[in-house]
Structure 1
Amino acid sequence: MEGLDFLNPNRLQDGRECGVRLELRINEPDTLPGSIYASRAFSITRGVCRFDLLESAPGAQDRMHWHPEMPNGEGRKRLYDDELAHDPLDWLGRQLRDAVALLKVGGIDDPERFADDALLLARMADDIVADAADTLSRSRRAPWPPVERRDERGMAVV
């Protein structure tokens, strides 16, 4: 999860979007050989689905969408959902409580192999939603502060 301040360099007419981005990623097991003393690596994939709780103005809730499929980590078409726009935090919590379904929609092979991890995520959903609420609240401070620099993707550089 991260706070987001985005200005799409390819669509400047859309204006600035601020809020919260949360991605579901997979932790791949380390398969390299090694002794019992060898350090094990962590490999985390690119996002397999993304939730963007974004607004064009503080409290607008007008750009809240998600990307259920992210081939090679690329969020393609934005999917808008009336429930997401109406109550984004409740909607997010419900999604996080059913991660296996998210993985299925995202095209992950044999998503049931992540059932134990999905149960752990479901138990943490309230804490994740609370963090998203806090981050969204911070992004809603008005007026939005000016951004001096942005990277090539349009993300604010702090």
Structure 2
Amino acid sequence: MLRVFCFGGLGVTVEDVFLIDPDPVRGGRERGVRVELRLLDPEPWRGSINASQRVVADRAVWRADFLETAANGPGTKDRMHHHPGMADNEPGRRVFSEDLTADPIGWLESQLADAVPLLEAAEVDSPEDYRASADALRENLDEVVTSVSTVLDRVRAGDLAKTAVAPGPSR
């Protein structure tokens, strides 16, 4: 299930994921929650004043993966990591952090409390232009964090992240 939170020019996606690592050395199945900070592209107004407007949350610039190996079981926190800057929607290397592993939700709160440094790390043009959106995200951070915590609990209970992600269209 994909959840999208919109804050002006910034969006946060929260999604349950089940991944199969193709690297046989590192390999294995990973289940958990993916959180991404995305830029919301401005769209031209369409239709009447009452018409629904298009929302595009295409460009991911930061990612945190709250993953655990299926082999080691729920609660192990053994594959939790983040990608501090993404280029062209592609994550860079996995960055593991003791703070993230020790307190995933607290770590997430500290990261998203000010999104502007995350935008700077991702080399977004004019990151300060997103200040109002970053402030709106901070003001509503409890809702985002609660969603992440709820989804992670449901993954650990076996209710979500049941099917491995495969490339290609899905509907």
- Band of TM-score, shorter chain: 0.7 to 0.9
Kindly indicate whether the alpha-carbon contact (under 8 Å) linking 2:18 and 2:161 is maintained by their aligned counterparts in 1.
no
Alignment partner of 1:114 out of 121, 130, 143: 130
Q: How many residues align?
A: 152
**Distance in 2 (alpha carbons) for counterparts of 1:93 and 1:109:** 24
**Distance in 2 (alpha carbons) for counterparts of 1:112 and 1:145:** 36
Query: Structure 2 length normalisation: TM-score?
Result: 0.77
Structure 2 gap segments, 5+ residues each: 1-13
Q: Say if 2:166 is the partner of 1:151.
A: yes
Alignment partner of 2:59: what SS? coil
* Corresponding residue of 1:100: 116
* Corresponding residue of 2:19: 6
* Corresponding residue of 2:63: 50
Closer, same or farther: CA 135–72 of 1 in aligned 2, 3 Å: same
Alignment partner of 1:47: what SS? strand
Alignment of 1:4-153 (within 5 A): 4-8=17-21, 10-13=22-25, 14-31=27-44, 41-56=54-69, 57-141=73-157, 147=163, 150-152=165-167
**Distance in 2 (alpha carbons) for counterparts of 1:71 and 1:3:** 22
Closer, same or farther: CA 150–31 of 1 in aligned 2, 3 Å: closer
Alignment partner of 2:132: what SS? helix
Closer, same or farther: CA 93–74 of 1 in aligned 2, 3 Å: same
Aligned-pair Cα RMSD in Å:
2.8
Query: Structure 1 length normalisation: TM-score?
Result: 0.83
Closer, same or farther: CA 126–139 of 1 in aligned 2, 3 Å: same
Kindly indicate whether the alpha-carbon contact (under 8 Å) linking 2:18 and 2:162 is maintained by their aligned counterparts in 1.
no
> Which structure is larger by alpha-carbon Rg, 1 or 2?
1
Structure 1 gap segments, 5+ residues each: none
1:42 shift after superposition: 2.9
